[in-house]
Structure 1
Amino acid sequence: MFSKAKRDKSDERQVPEFEEPKVMAADPGMSRRADAKSSARAKPVRSGPSGVPSLISADMVIRGEIRSEGEVQFDGEIEGDIYAKGLVVGEGATVRGEIMAEKVKVAGTVEGRVRATRVELTASSMVKGDVIHTALMIEAGARFEGSCRHSDDPMSEQAVNAAAAELPAPTPERVLSNHPAPNAPREREAKLREAAPIRRDASAAPKVETLQPMQQGQKQAAKANLR
């Protein structure tokens, strides 16, 4: 009888050997592109002002100033100054203060000075104040009470000082009096006399001489002379 050969248990427990992975030489160009992508992701990106304007609704009442580097759509009420890149004062809005922006469109009420490169007053607008501008457009129906001045740089203080220097000096108020001035024209005095009621003095009336009755002797003498 043939006997089976005994297997060594140590052979069954042998761990298979694996080949080490081959490392390929890195491409220097690829490494540079990878570094550039990673650095681009790491650096923060500074975003400019978005195209969507900041909206201030009609139920907002502000006491103070507003500063923005973008566009502002203002529909509320404010007592203070507004500084922005662009401003639209909506219909029904009220601004009591100075406005300074590159572009300003007014459809509501503004009580204060407006300084902008381009100013547009719509038909529903009402502006009470000075406007310093480079370009100005006023629609028919707009109400404007103030002075306007052209300036290549309306944001500068020199433009403000020049506009203030051109304002006319205040005129003194005139006081009406019933008494004519010493140097008043004679025609005015004559008209006042004609308008005054005429008063007659009894003492100035002409005197009427009354005839006294003749005595009896004088009557007889007169009759004798007649004969």
Structure 2
Amino acid sequence: MAIFGKSNYATTNNSGSETTVISSGARIEGKFYFASMLHVDGELVGTIHSQSIVVIGKRGVLKGELKADKIVVNGYFEGELEANSLEILSGGIVDGNIVIQELSVENGGKFNGSSKIKEEPKLIENNQEE
């Protein structure tokens, strides 16, 4: 009965986070901007910007430009990717150029492309010589 306890329900449903799901079988093209989490099990092609987490599921395909806070790939990504954190799971394939702060690749995950470290913006000091 612990599975149906109130405490489990409250922690998962009152977190205030929402998820947009692109279901298996769906194919969508265009420019997309999300404040919520995005989970892709279908095919999404275009420019995708998220302020949250993007998850490419096992059957998911995402092609184009992807910018997000955190990206988890268990399906297929092709294109330009920029994030603070990228996790390529054992079933994931990333094919393209990435700009990231943190990269994790599980055994079996594949990455083909180039990578750059995303640097924090540096504060410019105003030194005046007299």
For the criterion TM > 0.5, the same-fold answer is: yes
Confirm or deny: 8 A CA contact 2:33 2:49 kept in the other structure.
yes
- The structure richer in helix per residue is 1
Give structure 2 stretches of 5+ with no counterpart. Answer: 1-14, 122-130
Q: Provide, for residues 27-76 of structure 1, a one-character-per-residue CA deviation record: whole Å limited to 9, x for no partner.
A: xxxxxxxxxxxxxxxxxxxxxx9313111111211011221111111111
For residues 87 and 99 of structure 1, what CA distance do their matches in structure 2 show? 9
- The structure richer in strand per residue is 2
Amino acid at match of 2:110: R
1:136 pairs, out of 92, 103, 111, with: 103
Confirm or deny: 8 A CA contact 2:40 2:62 kept in the other structure.
no
Structure 2 match to 1:76 = 42
Structure 2 CA distance for partners of 1:142 and 1:51, relative to 1, 3 Å: same
Confirm or deny: 8 A CA contact 2:81 2:99 kept in the other structure.
yes
SS at match of 1:55: strand
SS at match of 1:102: strand
Amino acid at match of 1:117: N
Structure 2 match to 1:52 = 18
Confirm or deny: 8 A CA contact 1:73 1:88 kept in the other structure.
yes
The alignment yields a C-alpha RMSD, in angstroms, of: 1.7
**Structure 1 residues 36-185: aligned runs within 5 Å:** 50-85=16-51, 86-153=53-120
Confirm or deny: 8 A CA contact 2:19 2:37 kept in the other structure.
yes
- Which of the two has higher C-alpha Rg? 1
For residues 111 and 151 of structure 1, what CA distance do their matches in structure 2 show? 19
Structure 2 CA distance for partners of 1:101 and 1:153, relative to 1, 3 Å: farther
Percent identity among equivalent residues? 28
Q: Looking at both structures, which has the greater relative contact order when contacts are Cα pairs under 8 Å and sequence separation is at least 6?
A: 2
Give structure 1 stretches of 5+ with no counterpart. Answer: 1-48, 155-227
Amino acid at match of 1:96: K
Amino acid at match of 2:94: V
